[in-house]
Structure 1
Amino acid sequence: MNGSQSTDITSNPFLAPMSSIRAIAAGLSLIAVARSMSGAAGSSEGPGLCLAGASGSRTGSPPRLIRLADVPGYEPHRVNDMLLLCPTEAQSRHGSDTEAAEEGSQHVVFFPGDIQNFQEEMILQAEGAQWQCWSLERVALILGRRFPSRHIWVVRASRMYLHKFSCYHNFVESNLFGAPEHSPDYGAFRHLRALLRHGMEQAGLLPPATMFPPLGFSLALVGFSKGCVVLNQMVYEMAGAQEDPELAPFLGSLKDMYWLDGGHPGGSETWVTDRRALQELVASGIALHAHVTPYEVRDPMRAWVGREHRRFVRTLEELGAHLTNTLHFEDEPASIDNHFRVIQEF
């Protein structure tokens, strides 16, 4: 499948690209994923009990998941695979008249962490298989429950070093292991804007050559673990984006940013602590949300993570930010299970 095509692999899994044949043979179509998640609710098997409460829709109909390959971004060499979960009709009808009028205009973009990949890829790796309940498909379904009536976009990391270290080098300068080197203008906002525009066109949500962002468009960004490096890079680019006539409308559509237990293999800059950058973030008026667990912020071997998180929160509070800060599983031992579970608890 080339970059100009989309495949609705829920409605017809036999149209999946050749790379999906192994998944089909193993019975891993997205319909099966959704049903297995619903059927396993309350199961005690698998890391983190991530199947609980993650069924497809309130009516029992399967969700519509579309996989988009090689979606072009800001520059020709910047492409990403994406997964789109479209709200069901029942979810779209749920809510106020205002929400109904904005149907199709509300979007959530999720940046996953290490090891997270498409289901078919994770099951082939011994280390990935044990965490497959946090695959991109299953996380999309979880987020669909968290944000009903919105379109959910999951951006696959453009490189997975050793099949487990996610690298977002299309959004931020990164080493092989995905540790970032932040700068004020790497093009993260431009890349995301281009990804969403082309992704919406390929999925039939936006006519070609239409103004972008369209009227009423609103956006929330969610980064989990390694995926938080993308949000951090955007914080450093905030000042430049606000002054750019092309990016300013896109930035104005950004309503919420969620950091979920941020972490990466570098020795610093897990959380943004630069006061000037955080001032620009606060001035944007975006609602900010930090959700952490002891796995990241109370690890004595990586004490800087907790220190940076506290400084991030303290500085934003001093600057008057619209901020919520939550420590999950505070009374439980730090564990990677709970690290992943923050995805369904935030």
Structure 2
Amino acid sequence: MNKIFIPIICTFRLLAHSMHSTTMASLDSESKGNFKVPAGRPAAHILPKIEGTRGKENEMVFCCASASTQHVLYFPGDVQDYAELMEQDSHTRKWSKWNLEDTAILLSKRFPNSYIWVIRPARKFAGGFNCFDNFVEGDTIGTPVYSKNLTAISHLKALLYNAVKYVNQELQTTDGDFAKRYSRFMNQKKEDDLECEEKSSAPVVDAQLPVVIAGFSKGCIVMNQMLHELQNARQDEGAAEFLQQWKALYWLDGGHSGTKDTWITDVDVLRDLTDLQIDIQVHMTPYQSRNPQKPWTGKEAKIFMDTLQGLGAKIIFKNHFEERGPSLKYHFGILEMF
């Protein structure tokens, strides 16, 4: 585990996620009944495939700190994957520090008192390209084709609520050792008027807490798709209720392999975002803001931010590593800086 300290981490047995048998055979893990705990990674937990809408499923990584008061949903960028898979691939090994499990731990440090949910894309192309097919239509390598169809928001809500249901079931059926740890966890909430037995029988995770959504690099395409859906989402009872939970959106050096639509520039869509009256943060590095190989990205980002500011949105922008040139090293480094 990276050198990150988290005061209290919920640990529980997790179901072995569905992968190819050759991959599963290579995972270094300690078996416990029907569950597998990744060796040396007690803080981040790989959940089995979680169902969303219309039979679609995504694997997720869960990390939780004490007295959590919000959910943080994170969409990773290209290359990011499970630690074992990144180490096995010569093309991704160099960036294995940014694996999904350690990123979940890193986010737990950035967002203390939060339930962290890292959402793995349903499809990977050539080992590195993230394809978020369950959220947004795209080509072979996952370059998005945005639409106003209500797909991403509804699927994300279903994923979160079903993941919470799964976690609550596992936390309530674990052994006595965990029950003691959980009791200490619940005591952090200072609900002194409840008896310990009542605490341990109550749901551990509340699905209806405020929601923060963050995307890094390619992961930002899911957030962009959700913006296109906002108008229709307000007409759907379930989606509209989910929007009420949204607290903040974080764009972290957003980008993809296409030659346009890296950032939303449609004023009507951005007005819908402004109307939510939530916090918006944009963090960039020269890899996206002034990369000569894709000059449109920086131009679109400026339109995105200028338009939101003109509409009165609550937006914060910061350019990191501004003195450096475009670099994948600092592109990933934004995850430690924002």
Of 78, 82, 91, which aligns to 1:114? 78
Indicate how the Cα distance of structure 1 residues 214 and 12 shifts in structure 2: closer, same or farther if over 3 A, else same: closer
- Aligned residue for 1:301? 293
Measure the CA separation in 1 of the matches of 2:280 and 2:129.
Answer: 26
Q: Is the 8 A contact 1:10 1:31 kept in 2?
A: no
How far is the alpha carbon of 1:316 from its aligned partner? 0.3
- Aligned residue for 2:28? 24
Measure the CA separation in 2 of the matches of 1:307 and 1:321.
Answer: 19
Measure the CA separation in 1 of the matches of 2:116 and 2:206.
Answer: 17
**What is the letter of the counterpart of residue 110 of structure 1?**
Y
Taking every aligned residue pair, what percent have the same amino acid on both sides? 36
Indicate how the Cα distance of structure 1 residues 264 and 322 shifts in structure 2: closer, same or farther if over 3 A, else same: same
| 1:329 partner SS | coil
| 1:240 partner SS | helix
What are the within-5 Å matches in structure 2 for residues 78-117 of structure 1? 78-87=56-65, 89=66, 92=67, 103=68, 105-117=69-81
What are the within-5 Å matches in structure 2 for residues 180-199 of structure 1? 180-199=144-163
Q: Is the 8 A contact 1:9 1:66 kept in 2?
A: no
Q: Is the 8 A contact 1:20 1:120 kept in 2?
A: no
Q: Is the 8 A contact 1:180 1:229 kept in 2?
A: yes
- Aligned residue for 2:52? 73
CA RMSD, 1 decimal? 2.6
- Aligned residue for 1:232? 224
- Aligned residue for 2:91? 127
How far is the alpha carbon of 1:122 from its aligned partner? 1.0
Q: Is the 8 A contact 1:173 1:186 kept in 2?
A: no
- Aligned residue for 1:244? 236
Q: Is the 8 A contact 1:30 1:137 kept in 2?
A: no
Of 155, 158, 164, which aligns to 1:200? 164
How far is the alpha carbon of 1:69 from its aligned partner? 1.9
Q: Is the 8 A contact 2:62 2:118 kept in 1?
A: yes
**What is the letter of the counterpart of residue 64 of structure 2?**
C
Most deviating of 65-74 and 334-343: 65-74
Pair 1:270-2:262 in alignment: yes
Structure 2 unaligned spans of 5+: 1-8, 31-36, 173-204
Runs of 4+ in 1 over 3 A off after TM superposition: 8-13, 15-21, 213-216
Q: Is the 8 A contact 1:83 1:137 kept in 2?
A: yes
- Aligned residue for 1:155? 119
- Aligned residue for 1:281? 273
Please report the TM-score for the alignment, with normalisation by the length of structure 2.
0.80
- Aligned residue for 1:144? 108
How far is the alpha carbon of 1:261 from its aligned partner? 0.3
Q: Is the 8 A contact 2:210 2:247 kept in 1?
A: yes
| 2:287 partner SS | helix
Q: How many residues align?
A: 289
How far is the alpha carbon of 1:214 from its aligned partner? 5.8
Q: Is the 8 A contact 1:107 1:152 kept in 2?
A: yes
Pair 1:223-2:223 in alignment: no
- Aligned residue for 1:95? none
Indicate how the Cα distance of structure 1 residues 244 and 11 shifts in structure 2: closer, same or farther if over 3 A, else same: closer
**What is the letter of the counterpart of residue 32 of structure 1?**
G
Indicate how the Cα distance of structure 1 residues 215 and 161 shifts in structure 2: closer, same or farther if over 3 A, else same: closer
Measure the CA separation in 1 of the matches of 2:242 and 2:261.
Answer: 26
| 1:204 partner SS | helix
How far is the alpha carbon of 1:23 from its aligned partner? 2.4
Measure the CA separation in 2 of the matches of 1:159 and 1:132.
Answer: 19
Q: Is the 8 A contact 2:150 2:232 kept in 1?
A: no
How far is the alpha carbon of 1:333 from its aligned partner? 2.1
Of 319, 325, 337, which aligns to 2:311? 319
**What is the letter of the counterpart of residue 277 of structure 2?**
G
How far is the alpha carbon of 1:11 from its aligned partner? 5.2
Q: Is the 8 A contact 2:213 2:250 kept in 1?
A: yes
Measure the CA separation in 1 of the matches of 2:268 and 2:318.
Answer: 24
